Amino acid sequence: MSSYVLVLNCGSSSIKFAIVAVNNGESILSGLAENLGSDNSTLKISHAKTSTSYSLPANCKHESALSSINNILNEYQDLKQKVVAIGHRVVHGGEIFTQATLIDDEVKAAIKNTSHMAPLHNPANLSGIESAQLAFPALQHVAVFDTAFFQTMPKHAYLYALPYELYKTHGIRRYGFHGSSHEFVSTKAAELLNQPLEVSNLITAHLGNGCSITAINQGKAIDTSLGLTPLEGLVMGTRCGDLDPSIPTYMQETLGYSASKVNDLLNKSSGLLGISELSNDCRLLEEQSKNGNELAQLALEIFCYRLAKYIASYMVASGPLDALVFTGGIGENSSFIRQRTIAMLSTLNFSINEQLNEKMRFGHAGFVQQEASHKIIVIPTNEEWVIANKAAKLTLASGEQ
Ligand code: ADP
């Protein structure tokens, strides 16, 4: 009998969830509770190609939303009975968590102690955990950290050239995020290359609203573009990625912006949205770019140029490259972004096969390079499956002790 895991991703005002089959990663039922804490909280559940909307109590927070979700799941009793564990996505695990872990009081305290490094995410993740433990007391709860996959990075990759004291005393270093996605696509890439992951050298580019790129040497993450927070590196939907580090202080001291205004500007009104003055949505920018919108064209060009530079530089870290992998909403679907980025890398022996590139979209996985090129693979990600797998394994192992 196949087992299932309820995967939860709790944000400050939302809960994204899915019941995932452990054997094949299929999401059998999924749902989204939104606008929690307001008077128009909503809950939508999709199952077997139908979507049902439910109302939630006014001002409902994680605790009552998860209790409502638990009650509604009684309508899917057959499925609910097969859920063996709950897997929680936790954004920041600091240096403490190098892998997924069963949640106990000590783990909750450690997640709390890491909250200063992810103030928008960890407190919400923790509140979700505590509420889910109340709603589903009979199940084991497992925390799967976005940062854990990158704990194999060497010191020369994760340290900034800042006074060492800041690392020792305050933990200021590169942590990386989107770990479950990079882990999933690197495992899949090794399968498609027909070789063990442990001997695979890869560069994996996760391009969604948030974007990150990871260098993998002999199956282990060796460098990644997101840093202490998920702001560094590539151009993203609304986040700026790399900058001259003096720009934020320049905005504060010369332009008189407050620290929180600068923080908002860098996180919420920069990236594709900031440059295009139009949207953070890559699809819309591609459309407008074709219609001659110059700022849309510029935003996409800057996005691809930054990505190409990172791919080139990560060839230093990965070692002799077995494959470059594209994933995430943009990486999986935008043949334009892939083609333009690869064109910029032609001197490094990358070239794309246009027909294959057009074919690998909307859920298709496969190779898209020309024969003489480094291998380039498109792989739809499945972060929920990684979380479900880890939660099921740990739960099973704890039952066997
Ligand atoms: P998130 O990081 O929120 O999970 P996704 O991985 O879903 O985001 O990626 C969202 C991005 O993917 C958006 O910029 C969207 O425009 C882009 N995207 C989705 N489908 C396409 C497509 N067919 N062509 C180009 N971009 C696409």
Query: Is 397 within the bounds of a domain?
Result: no
Do residues 86 and 216 share a domain?
A: no
**How far is the C-alpha of 301 from the C-alpha of 198, rounded, in Å?**
35
Do residues 203 and 317 share a domain?
A: yes
Do residues 213 and 360 share a domain?
A: yes
pLDDT of amino acid 1: 63
How many domains would you assign to the chain? 2
Do residues 141 and 198 share a domain?
A: no
Query: Is 162 within the bounds of a domain?
Result: no
Query: Is 151 within the bounds of a domain?
Result: no
Query: Is 188 within the bounds of a domain?
Result: no
Query: Is 353 within the bounds of a domain?
Result: yes
pLDDT of amino acid 40: 87
Catalytic-labelled residue, pool 39, 104, 146, 322? 146
pLDDT of amino acid 401: 64
Report the amino acid identity of residue 104. D
Do residues 212 and 358 share a domain?
A: yes
CB 85, CB 392: distance < 8 Å:
yes
**Residue nearest (by alpha carbon) to ligand 1 atom 4:** 208
Query: Is 362 within the bounds of a domain?
Result: yes
Do residues 96 and 206 share a domain?
A: no
Please write down the HEC assignment for all residues of the chain: CCCEEEEEEECCCCEEEEEEECCCCCEEEEEEEECCCCCCCEEEEEECCEEEEEECCCCCCHHHHHHHHHHHHHHHHHHHCCEEEEEEEECCCCCCCCCCEECCHHHHHHHHHCHHHCCCCHHHHHHHHHHHHHHCCCCEEEEEECCHHHHHCCHHHHCCCCCHHHHHHHCCCCCCCCHHHHHHHHHHHHHHHCCCHHHCCEEEEEECCCEEEEEEECCEEEEECCCCCCCCCCCCCCCCCCCCCHHHHHHHHCCCCCHHHHHHHHHHCCHHHHHHCCCCCHHHHHHHHHCCCHHHHHHHHHHHHHHHHHHHHHHHHHCCCCEEEEEHHHHHHCHHHHHHHHHCCHHHCCCECHHHHHHCCCCCCEECECCCCCCEEECCCCHHHHHHHHHHHHHHHHHHC
**330 Cβ inside 6 Å of ligand 1:** yes
- Length of the chain, please? 401
Residue 119 belongs to domain spanning: 4-145
Do residues 229 and 319 share a domain?
A: yes
**271 Cβ inside 6 Å of ligand 1:** no
Do residues 138 and 203 share a domain?
A: no
Do residues 141 and 231 share a domain?
A: no
CB 368, CB 357: distance < 8 Å:
yes
**How far is the C-alpha of 225 from the C-alpha of 202, rounded, in Å?**
14
**How far is the C-alpha of 200 from the C-alpha of 221, rounded, in Å?**
11
Distance between Cα 210 and ligand 1 center (Å): 10
Q: Is 383 annotated as a binding residue?
A: yes
To the query of whether residue 146 is one of the catalytic residues in this protein, the response is yes
Residue to mutate (ligand 1; options 334, 360, 384; most atoms within 8 A of CB): 334
pLDDT of amino acid 120: 85
Residue with tokens 């940062």: 147
Q: List per-residue pLDDT tens for the chain, 401 residues long.
A: 689 999 999 999 999 999 999 999 999 999 999 999 998 899 999 998 899 999 898 889 999 999 999 999 999 999 999 999 999 999 999 999 999 999 999 999 999 999 988 888 999 999 999 999 999 999 999 999 999 999 999 999 999 999 999 999 999 999 999 999 999 999 999 999 999 999 999 999 999 999 999 999 999 999 999 999 999 999 999 999 999 999 999 999 999 999 999 999 999 999 999 999 999 999 999 999 999 999 999 999 999 999 999 999 999 999 999 999 999 999 999 999 999 999 999 999 999 999 999 999 999 999 999 999 999 999 999 999 999 999 999 999 988 76
* CATH code of the domain covering residue 32: 3.30.420.40
Q: Is 207 annotated as a binding residue?
A: yes
Query: Is 168 within the bounds of a domain?
Result: no
Do residues 140 and 200 share a domain?
A: no
pLDDT of amino acid 304: 99
Do residues 245 and 342 share a domain?
A: yes
Query: Is 392 within the bounds of a domain?
Result: no
What is the pTM for the complete model shown?
Answer: 0.96
| Ligand 1 atom index nearest CA of 206 | 6
Do residues 212 and 360 share a domain?
A: yes
